[in-house]
């Protein structure tokens, strides 16, 4: 039996909590868990502009529970973590631009709230397994490519620093307090149910929106910057495998894509899938150049060796599914 099959059996009948559960990654994870027969509780603050959207789970709302609460609310978290067997901790402020503009809110959500969440687990549910959503942004500008987990951590913005701290709180509580925790460092995840209302949570959804609207897309630089892209279904499988496997306890893993692709290649693939839109190369604005990391793609061999995970969805197929979803449900995201 493969590790993916073992993972599928693992969740049947288990109590699972997802913080940030109405967001992009959380809602897609919830859908898989419902399919696998888990008892799913979603917690989300529905803070405007952060990505939480009740429509993301509208068609499965009778198969899970939703609690509107903020991870910063200690009393709520003290109660909500109880009796949960696996917790996927996805709640966070993920915009690098917002982190620079409002560093104190970013600090509050990505550091202090993570610490109080882990304290709630330590006091009220120390047997829970916790999987944390981290980011490749903690590495900063790469010294070498592909970037493995031992690469120096040199974040270029406030959000990267705070996410790095949030990750290490989880590893610390694993090592010191016995809270079984794993951190997954995500890179350029994309797919259905992503926030599309503004461009502060990454370029992929905004490029997709502009292409669907037939607009000209501005690509900063010369378009040669390399990235790896992870379709959301592949990212979900990484979380499920990390939550099910004792081999993941106390570990941090890169979750990457099928290989480096230039931003220009990515855009040309997107425009081909959509069949409309165009792009032009423009100079970097100063506020973006100061935090740009150049080319970046990850080495995911650690998670492949430990858990058997690897990406399966090519960019063209992932974009096709993403575009098809938003063509059907545009009014709930635009």
pLDDT digits (tens, 9 = 90+) for 140-197: 999 999 999 999 999 999 999 999 999 999 999 999 999 999 999 999 999 999 999 9
**Residue 126 domain flag:** yes
221/228 Cα distance (integer angstroms): 18
CATH assignment of the domain containing 188: 3.40.50.720
284 lies in some domain: no
Whether residue 22 contacts residue 47, with contact meaning beta carbons closer than 8 Å, is answered with no
Per-residue exposure over 74-87, b if at least 16 CB sit within 10 Å of its own CB, e if not: eebbbebbeebbbb
pLDDT at 293: 81
In a domain, 167, yes or no: yes
In a domain, 267, yes or no: no
Question: Beta-carbon neighbour count of residue 317 at 10 Å?
Answer: 12
Rounded Cα gap, residues 240 and 191, in angstroms: 17
When pLDDT is cut at 50, 70 and 90, the band that residue 306 belongs to is very high
Q: Residue 223: pLDDT above 70? A: yes
Residue 215 lies in a domain: no
**What pLDDT does 1 receive?**
38
Reported confidence tier of residue 31, pLDDT bands at 50, 70, 90: very high
Rounded CA-CA distance 332/54 in Å is 9
Tally of domains within the chain: 1
Confidence band of 94 (pLDDT split at 50, 70, 90): confident
Q: How confident is the model at residue 8 (pLDDT cuts 50, 70, 90)?
A: confident
Listed residue (14, 19, 29) closest to 89, CA to CA: 19
SS3 label, residue 204? helix
Phi first, then psi, for residue 259 (nearest 5°) are 145, 160
* 62 inside domain: yes
Residue 57 placed within a domain = yes
Strand ranges (E), 84-199: 86-89, 129-135, 180-186, 189-190
Which residue, chain included where needed, has tokens 């990212």?
235
What pLDDT is recorded for position 285?
80
Q: Show the domain range for 113.
A: 3-195+229-257+297-313
Binned at pLDDT 50, 70 and 90, residue 6 comes out as: low
Torsion of CA 141, 143, 148, 151, to 10 degrees: -90
Q: What average pLDDT is seen over the chain?
A: 94
- Please tell me what DSSP assigns to residue 108: I
Residue 265 forms part of a structural domain: no
């Amino acid at each position: 039996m493969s590790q993916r099959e073992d993972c599928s059996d693992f969740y049947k009948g288990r109590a699972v909590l997802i913080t940030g559960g109405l967001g992009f990654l959380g809602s897609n994870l919830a859908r898989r868990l419902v399919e696998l027969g888990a008892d799913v509780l979603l917690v989300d603050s529905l803070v405007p502009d952060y990505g939480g959207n009740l429509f993301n789970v509208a068609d499965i709302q009778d198969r899970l529970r939703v609690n509107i609460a903020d991870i910063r609310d200690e009393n709520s978290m003290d109660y909500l973590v109880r009796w949960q067997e696996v917790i996927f901790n996805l709640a966070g402020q993920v915009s690098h631009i917002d982190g620079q503009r409002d560093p104190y809110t970013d600090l509050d959500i990505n550091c202090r709230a993570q610490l109080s969440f882990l304290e709630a687990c330590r006091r009220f549910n120390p047997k829970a397994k916790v999987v944390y959503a981290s980011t490749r942004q903690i590495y900063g500008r790469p010294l070498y490519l592909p970037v493995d987990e031992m690469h120096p951590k040199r974040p270029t913005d406030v959000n990267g620093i705070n996410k790095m701290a949030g990750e290490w709180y989880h590893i610390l509580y694993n090592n010191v307090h016995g809270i079984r925790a794993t951190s997954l460092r995500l890179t350029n995840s994309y797919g259905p149910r992503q926030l599309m209302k503004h461009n502060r949570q990454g370029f992929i959804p905004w490029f997709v929106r502009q292409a669907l609207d037939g607009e000209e897309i501005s690509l900063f630089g010369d378009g040669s910057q390399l990235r790896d892209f992870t379709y959301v279904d592949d990212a979900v499988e990484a979380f499920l495998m990390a939550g099910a496997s004792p081999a993941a306890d106390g570990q941090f893993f890169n979750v990457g894509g099928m290989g480096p692709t230039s931003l220009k290649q990515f855009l040309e693939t997107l425009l081909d899938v959509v069949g409309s839109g165009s792009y032009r190369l423009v100079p970097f604005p100063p506020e973006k150049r100061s935090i740009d990391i150049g080319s970046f793609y990850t080495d995911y061999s650690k998670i492949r060796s430990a858990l058997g995970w690897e990406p399966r969805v090519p960019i063209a197929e992932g974009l096709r599914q993403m575009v098809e979803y938003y063509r059907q449900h545009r009014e709930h995201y635009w």
